[in-house]
Amino acid sequence: MPDSGRRLAAVAFIDLVGFTQISQRNEALALQLLEEYRGILRPVLAKHDGSEIKTIGDGFLVEFASALEAVRCAFDAQQALHDLNSPRAPERRIQARFGIHVGDVVHSQGGQSMKD
């Protein structure tokens, strides 16, 4: 495979904490919280030039040009969620996890993969 499709990038994996458990207890609430989470997260991703590569359920795979932008995005998203959650009852709070990895990304017709 030629290296022309290869570049250094930061990739973030983002998901909701406890989403499966919430879904099992109250599916309607889980779907409502999921839509709120997406509505908060997507503008923050755009602000930091994050490219949404894929979503699966409550999980996002996002590519950034730099680790700094990925971390800034995670910070801003967590701050937005904190502000949203402050007045809420615990069962209506939205908490997210961010995992950030930096490495070579290879884009191909079948999708994208990370190379360490």
Mean pLDDT of 102-113: 72
Higher pLDDT, 11 or 109: 11
Asked whether the beta carbons of 7 and 105 are under 8 A apart, the reply is yes
Mean pLDDT of 40-61: 95
Report pLDDT for 111.
Answer: 56
Q: What is the pLDDT of residues 15-25, one digit of tens each?
A: 999 999 999 99
Q: Which residues contact 7 (CB under 8 A, 6 or more apart)?
A: 104, 105
Q: What is the pLDDT of residues 64-101, one digit of tens each?
A: 999 999 999 999 999 999 999 999 999 899 999 999 99
Angle between helical axes of 27-47 and 67-85 (0-180°, round to 10): 140
Report pLDDT for 1.
Answer: 44
The mean pLDDT value of the chain amounts to: 90
Q: Which residues contact 37 (CB under 8 A, 6 or more apart)?
A: 16, 58, 81, 94, 96
Report pLDDT for 86.
Answer: 95
Asked whether the beta carbons of 28 and 107 are under 8 A apart, the reply is no
CATH for the stretch 3-115 = 3.30.70.1230
Say if residue 3's pLDDT is above 80.
no
62 — phi, psi (to 5°)? -130, 135
Confidence of residue 7 (pLDDT cuts 50, 70, 90): confident
pTM of the model: 0.83
